[in-house]
Structure 1
Amino acid sequence: MKVAIVSDWLVSYAGSEKVEEAILELFADADIYTNIYNAEAFKDTGFENRNITQSFIAKLPGAKRHYQKYLALMPYAVEQLDLSRYDLIISSSHAVAKGVITGPDQLHICYCHTPIRYAWDFQHQYLADSGMAKGLKSNVARYLLHRLRLWDYRTSNGVDHFIANSRYIARRINKVYRRKASVIYPNVDVDNFNLHEQKEDFYLAASRLVPYKRISLIVEAFTKMPDKKLVVIGTGEQAEKIKQMLTPNITFLGYQPTETLKSYMQRARAFIFAAEEDFGIMPIEAQACGTPVIAYGRGGALETVRNGETGIHFFEQTSAAIQQSVEQFEFKGITFDAQAIRHHAEQFSEMRFRQEMSAFVYTKWNEFIVQRGF
């Protein structure tokens, strides 16, 4: 069978791209289709030396750096990708990839990281964080998001089978598309994050510094706990805001290479995670190091962090809730077994992902060819 892998965009090598890379390992001859491909970001990865087709958006000014500005064109662009010569299409979608056009003799499986967050239940948060809660720009954005929702729902009918990256996303898929989804957790390179049982007296927060990650809430909480140390690693649009909030007990390191981040994850007393994520890879990486996680109890963290066993959940996205959870972690005698935390993280391994993904795809393919009488 001829296989095509479809991605929203390939501009940086992060979580969803690592999922796609693992899928590529299952199909040595698969071709890749996407809106934009930044080859510089994918050196020494499984994307190199692959046949990659980009949409017309790749030719527009500044597409690689400012691809978000072309979001309104992407539904149209992805429909122009000609996949008619392929038997199996696997879309890796958190925006528009699932909207590719396929026919009745093609099997389309969508690995859905999420229905488009900023078009559905996160619309109001997205507009507020972008400074578009009111005014003319807000009205234009709301109309475009309305049109995007209509398109997104319609194109869900072109998917034969949905795979969700968590039970949380499976519920969102059912809510938005009224479709059932199987759950296959993303691949996490737990083998690259070694167990380290000796912990030091500091907490760690690490992430892209964008509003929805809520790193500023973590920093705010520690400004009120001067006797507790916090290390912050990451870069992004909120870096300057966070620098202005720092107190002597908080160390801001900005961007750090993977090995440095890993070292801090291994030694931290706990990793703090305040975002509502679809899945969340960093909490798994921290747990692979034997480090407990203090996490906001919504979204994927409810599945990846076991409350009272591998970490603690807090249930309000506020600095006060974070402060209370840290105090609970320290003063109520809760102890955590580093080896047990590591064992929990191992269920999210890359090998597990490849096995589950391969079994799912080939089962559905065999069913498909029987149904079609091939």
Structure 2
Amino acid sequence: MSVAGGPGRGVLVHEWIAQAGGSENVFEAMNDIYPDADLVCLWNDSTGRFNEEQLKQTWLSRTPLRRSKALALPFMPATWRRLAYEDYEWALISSHLFAHHARFVGQPAGFRRYVYVHTPARYIWSPELDGRGNSLAARTVAAALKPIDRRRAQEPASYAANSAFVRTRIQDAWGVEAQVIFPPVEVEAIQGVEDWRTRLTEAEQEQLDGLPDGFVLGASRFIPYKRLDVVIRTAEAAGRPVVLAGKGPELENLQAVAREASVPVQFVHAPSGPMLWALYQRTSLYVFPAVEDFGIMPVEAMAAGAPVLAQSVGGTAESVVPGETGALVPFRSRAEMAEGAEAAMATVREARLNRARDFSRRRFEERITGWVGAA
């Protein structure tokens, strides 16, 4: 452990490591706080993101199951119960499925577990928030896994949730209490460059300059629950052109919606970090209709100075301040979308910049070290 006054030798645990993702960003921030800790995951699909000498993968990483989370899922609970113990004194666990089940064979009495919960598995506990949980097969598996998941969650550990929204779901699902520690957002990095256009490639600058004035921005993965079609509907209600930035399997469906839209719709495919941040700086309004556990991108948008119109249910209701940094609506009617857009765009840029700083990486580091080091 490298943190002054730190709590002894530790290990950081994560589900699986993808090349990119919000939970991976949190895990990376944890690794930056505790660079000497070992790392454990089911399998690692990132390249050069973590120290390979410290990273330990489970047996699933050596099988074709790593290519299918659905097929690997039945093997995960037992796998988490048989981790190799190497004289650790504590574990900091990043969980959004079963990582909170983690147990090290031979771990001593007094071994300390800190579980940072992105969400209890949505398709097991909250299928209304995740379409993957609505099939008959998923409901059958969920019925079998719920008692195990709840029992494992009640083993001795200290819990933190990434939002009050998730804290409530932890209590409902597992019957345990959790404190709230908001995830880190790259606020310092975003606000460290006055004009991100100057950091773009020539091709990116040309693409940015070709976008219409006053556009509404929707940016996220192109997957159904992100509801990017609603961004187009909101732009129609506000009478503004729209830009959708991202990539994913919903691209063709979104293009079909765009062809029928009453306002111009343009796509920015797989934007780089600087391009995304330049889009935040350029947009007249960032729209985020998804019900999220926290929602990092609305905070990024505020960090860049953009007004935000976000979902009134979920974690975004904890970061976006109505009348100060944006507006919150349930996105049920054209009228409320139009009113919400107008209210959000009437807010003051300086208030948005200041609010975003409440979710900086520095704040996250302070909270995590206070939590893990408090024992």
User: What's the TM-score bracket when you normalise by the shorter of the two chains?
Assistant: 0.7 to 0.9
The alpha-carbon distance between structure 1 residues 225 and 249, as it changes in their structure 2 partners (threshold 3 A), is farther
- State the distance in 2 between where 1:225 and 1:325 align: 6
- State the distance in 2 between where 1:85 and 1:142 align: 39
**Unaligned segments of structure 1, at least 5 residues:** 365-374
2:80 equivalent in structure 1: 78
The alpha-carbon distance between structure 1 residues 66 and 86, as it changes in their structure 2 partners (threshold 3 A), is same
2:364 equivalent in structure 1: 353
2:338 equivalent in structure 1: 326
- 1:110–1:159 contact (8 Å) kept in structure 2: no
Structure-to-structure mapping, 1:29-68, within 5 angstroms? 29-40=36-47, 43=48, 45=49, 47-61=50-64, 63=66, 65-68=67-70
**Unaligned segments of structure 2, at least 5 residues:** 1-7, 196-211
2:24 equivalent in structure 1: 17
1:110 aligns with 2:115: yes
Match for 1:275: what amino acid? A
| 1:213 corresponds to which of 219, 226, 231 | 226
- 2:237–2:338 contact (8 Å) kept in structure 1: no
Percent identity over the alignment?
28
2:350 equivalent in structure 1: 339
1:269 aligns with 2:291: no
Match for 2:103: what amino acid? I
- State the distance in 2 between where 1:219 and 1:333 align: 17
In the TM superposition, residue 74 of structure 1 has moved relative to its aligned partner by 1.2
Match for 2:113: what amino acid? H
2:143 equivalent in structure 1: 146
In the TM superposition, residue 184 of structure 1 has moved relative to its aligned partner by 1.0
The two structures, once aligned, show a CA RMSD in angstroms of 2.3
1:288 aligns with 2:303: yes
The alpha-carbon distance between structure 1 residues 189 and 57, as it changes in their structure 2 partners (threshold 3 A), is same
Deviations 1:281-329 (A, max 9, x none): 100000001111000101111111001110011124x4x35x6323443
- 1:168–1:278 contact (8 Å) kept in structure 2: yes
- State the distance in 1 between where 2:237 and 2:167 align: 38
| 1:255 corresponds to which of 254, 267, 270 | 270
1:161 equivalent in structure 2: 158
In the TM superposition, residue 85 of structure 1 has moved relative to its aligned partner by 2.8
1:189 equivalent in structure 2: 186
In the TM superposition, residue 50 of structure 1 has moved relative to its aligned partner by 4.2
In the TM superposition, residue 28 of structure 1 has moved relative to its aligned partner by 2.6
The alpha-carbon distance between structure 1 residues 333 and 144, as it changes in their structure 2 partners (threshold 3 A), is closer
Match for 1:57: what amino acid? L
- State the distance in 1 between where 2:312 and 2:70 align: 29
Q: With structure 2 as the length reference, what TM-score do the two structures score?
A: 0.86
Which secondary structure state, in structure 2, belongs to the residue aligned with residue 143 of structure 1? helix
Task: Give aligned pairs, total.
Answer: 345
Which secondary structure state, in structure 1, belongs to the residue aligned with residue 314 of structure 2? coil
- State the distance in 2 between where 1:307 and 1:225 align: 19
- State the distance in 1 between where 2:347 and 2:88 align: 50
| 1:233 corresponds to which of 232, 240, 245 | 245
- State the distance in 2 between where 1:256 and 1:171 align: 34
Q: With structure 1 as the length reference, what TM-score do the two structures score?
A: 0.86
